[in-house]
Amino acid sequence: MSYQTSYTRFEPPYHNKKTFILEEMKASTIKIFDHVARFSEFYPTIIHHESIMPGFQTKLCNVIKELALKDLQGAEENHTINKDLQASYQSYALLGMIIEWVKSDFKYSTKYMAEQLIYILSCKPISKVYQTSFTTETEQA
């Protein structure tokens, strides 16, 4: 899969835009889930049977990663974050969403998946406080 081929097929939400503001992104601009749904016979086959097209998932991640690295530059540069690692993290996260959606037999609509992606991207997990399933001895008493 080449960058140009994937770029024209997926049309990233920032296509033909000079600036891209995540908070202003609408679910309708995210087309990757529409693409997967359009090829709903192909994706389950390659996800459930990796031996049919070995390496496809990695290739797909690399295309998504390449899009991010080539097309997007943060307005607020953070020099402590390795851009290559960040792009890999994000591409594998997106592929994970796609895989779970396919494995659930497309349980959710494309719109719902796009909305969830926006919510996830908008979340700042490092600033969140999480409850664990562990309790202290005093809480058990």
Which pLDDT score, from 0 to 100, does residue 30 have? 87
Parent domain of 108: 3-140
Instruction: State both tokens at 22.
Output: 């995540």
| 3, 63 contact by CB (below 8 A) | yes
Q: Which positions ≥6 away from 101 have C-beta within 8 Å? A: 33, 36, 107, 108, 113
pLDDT at residue 4, as a whole number:
42
Position with higher pLDDT, 3 vs 62: 62
**98 and 46 in contact (C-beta within 8 Å)?**
no
- pLDDT one-digit tens code per residue, 43-96: 999 888 878 888 888 998 999 899 888 876 665 567 788 889 989 999 999 999
Residue 3: per-residue pLDDT:
39
What is the rounded CA–CA span in Å between residue 64 and residue 49? 21
Q: How many domains does the chain have?
A: 1
